[in-house]
Amino acid sequence: MSTATVQGFYYDIGHSSKYQNQFEYSINTFNLYECNFIYLLTCITPDDSTVTIYTDSQAAIDGLRLCASSFYSNSRLFYKTTNFGLWASIERLVHSKNLTVFPVKVKGHDGNYWNEFADSLANSAHHSDMAPLLPQDTYTSSHPVRLVYDNVVCESNPRRLFKLHFQATFLKDLLSLKRFQFVYCLYDKDDYVVDWELTWFTLNFSPTHDASFQASHAARHYTFKFKLFLDDLPFLEKLKVTRSDLYIDLLTCRSCRDRMEDLMHLILCFKRRPVMHQILQSYQNHLFSKLRKAGELADQDPTPLLRKLFSLSCWTISSSNWSSYALIQGCLPAMFIDLFVDLSIPRPSAMKVVAAIHNNFIQKLRTRIWNPRTHDKSKWEDVMNITLKLKTTPRPSNLPATTYVPFSSLPPPTHPVTSRDSEVDWIKNSMTQGWDVDFYSGRVIRYYVSIVASTLETI
């Protein structure tokens, strides 16, 4: 009898004295790591062996049954399967080594001695820094296509490549819209460069429900957040274009009655400026507080990082400051995440912290700035008899074409600047800098990769 821990898993190998080349394995696994462990088992098991695997993971049992039916090499759903790379390699080993595998389900946490023993050892190994990682090229060699750069496997899933390709294309199309031209002016990496991964994560982040943010607020919060990001809130300057029959060109902000109303005026209006300052100061203080806690956890002095955060130009709101405009709209800077990473906070954890803080800011912006503004506008509409029914009816078709040009309190970009964001065209750049496509079989995927490669040249 021999025992060992591998990649956060415990396995128990028992040899039967009656039957030669029969092996029993007791497995306790953590989520996707079960594939790593089963792959290692198939690697060390001798050829022509009968293997019995006891596991409390139904996913592992289902995966092994699919291996027996050659699912991973024959199915059109090959690349849609979770951890398909490891399962394909397991299937290849099972057939090439002529293994007979019998998975047996063991009820988890039910007093089974070996399962509980495996669970305790698996926990110890899972949290150990000494657990070795399985090299990616070890289990991707059986794939029909791999993208390799400098002998490093960069991508073994063409489906994921296509998805990222189209996401990059959609992002490029989004940034080409006039409303996002300001992003190309944010090119100072020491001050403000948009982190699009953080931006998308924050947009989709769901705040925790509490006394100040109840479930009933969620729909309005999401609507406001996305309309703010897409610059699609119904400011008077937009309504003058879409409903010129109801809102005349000379109409000004209904709160101050002094300036044309767009996004920047919303936060610069002297009627709301003190409140806006309080909200932004709260945003900054919240980040400072989290950075100090991160410094305590890392046993580091966060003072230099706090100074760096304080020096960002986005905290100073003015009609000519593009970074403050980007922050309020929701295009968040990479600096927010980098400061936490410098304090040894994992990037995913840092993104959750920043997303929660920004969503709290958005909630305050909606309740303390946007709602009072909407109230002032509604009072004026009541006086002018502009009812909801009137606003939701189609615009009369016999009106003359408007020559009105939307007002903006922000200056136009002085000149086109190439975006410094690497996520926009990283696939194209990588392809032109030396990606290599290794083909291992005659799958139709060759055809698709050639199409993608040619398409990327036109981006």
Is the confidence at residue 443, as pLDDT, over 60?
no
CA distance 369 to 228: 13
Of 27-31, 362-366, 437-441, least confident by mean pLDDT is: 437-441
Contact in structure between 366 and 226 (CB atoms under 8 Å): no
Is the confidence at residue 428, as pLDDT, over 60?
no
DSSP 333: B
189 Rama class: left (phi>0) / alpha (psi -120 to 50) / beta? alpha
What is the CB neighbour count within 10 angstroms for residue 424? Answer: 20
Predicted local confidence at residue 361, as pLDDT? 94
Average pLDDT on 419-423 reads 41
Domain 2-139 adopts which CATH fold? Nucleotidyltransferase; domain 5 (3.30.420)
CA distance 107 to 130: 29
Average pLDDT over the chain reads 75
pLDDT band at 23 (very low <50, low <70, confident <90, very high): low
**In b/e form, how buried is each residue of 343-371, taking b as 16+ CB within 10 angstroms?**
bebeeeebbebbbbbbbbbbbbbbbebbe
Residue position matching structure tokens 């849609």: 80
Average pLDDT on 373-380 reads 92
Is the confidence at residue 286, as pLDDT, over 90?
yes
* pLDDT tens digits for range 182-230: 887 887 777 888 998 899 999 988 877 666 667 777 888 889 999 999 8
Which tops the pLDDT comparison, 133 or 259? 259
Predicted local confidence at residue 432, as pLDDT? 38
Question: Which structure tokens are listed for 28?
Answer: 């306790």
Contact in structure between 35 and 87 (CB atoms under 8 Å): yes
Question: Which structure tokens are listed for 38?
Answer: 């089963």
Question: Which structure tokens are listed for 1?
Answer: 């009898």
Contact in structure between 79 and 157 (CB atoms under 8 Å): yes
Domain residue ranges of the chain, discontinuous segments joined by +: 2-139, 188-392
Which tops the pLDDT comparison, 439 or 395? 395
Which tops the pLDDT comparison, 126 or 270? 270
Name the range with the highest mean pLDDT among 31-35, 56-60, 246-250: 246-250
Is the confidence at residue 265, as pLDDT, over 90?
no
Average pLDDT on 231-243 reads 88
Predicted local confidence at residue 1, as pLDDT? 31
DSSP 80: G
Identify any residues that bridge with 2 across adjacent strands, giving them in sequence order.
Answer: 13
Predicted local confidence at residue 415, as pLDDT? 43
Please say whether the dihedral angle defined by the alpha carbons of residues 451, 454, 456 and 459, taken in this order, is positive or negative: negative
> 3-class SS at 53?
strand
* pLDDT tens digits for range 293-352: 999 988 999 999 999 999 998 898 887 888 888 999 999 999 999 999 999 899 999 999
Which whole-number Å values give the CA distances from 401 to 213, 241, 247, 390, 435, in the listed order? 44, 10, 14, 20, 52
Is the confidence at residue 370, as pLDDT, over 90?
yes
* pLDDT tens digits for range 77-125: 666 667 777 787 888 888 888 888 888 888 776 777 777 776 676 666 6
Share of the chain above pLDDT 90, in %: 21
* pLDDT tens digits for range 49-67: 888 888 877 878 888 887 7
Share of the chain above pLDDT 70, in %: 66
Quickly list DSSP for 163-179: HHHHHHHHHHHHHTSGG
Of 65-79, 138-152, 363-377, least confident by mean pLDDT is: 138-152
Question: pTM to 2 decimals?
Answer: 0.65
CA distance 230 to 289: 30
CA distance 233 to 390: 19
Q: Of 239, 212, 208, whose CA–CA distance to 368 is shortest?
A: 212
Contact in structure between 427 and 149 (CB atoms under 8 Å): no
Average pLDDT on 112-140 reads 64
Which tops the pLDDT comparison, 317 or 1? 317
Contact in structure between 151 and 135 (CB atoms under 8 Å): no
CA distance 377 to 274: 20
Predicted local confidence at residue 19, as pLDDT? 43
Q: Where is 27: in which H helix or E strand?
A: strand 22-27
* pLDDT tens digits for range 144-182: 556 666 766 666 666 777 777 788 888 888 888 888 888
pLDDT band at 4 (very low <50, low <70, confident <90, very high): very low
Q: What is the number of helices (H) and of strands (E) in the chain?
A: 20, 8
Is the confidence at residue 16, as pLDDT, over 90?
no
Is the confidence at residue 131, as pLDDT, over 60?
no
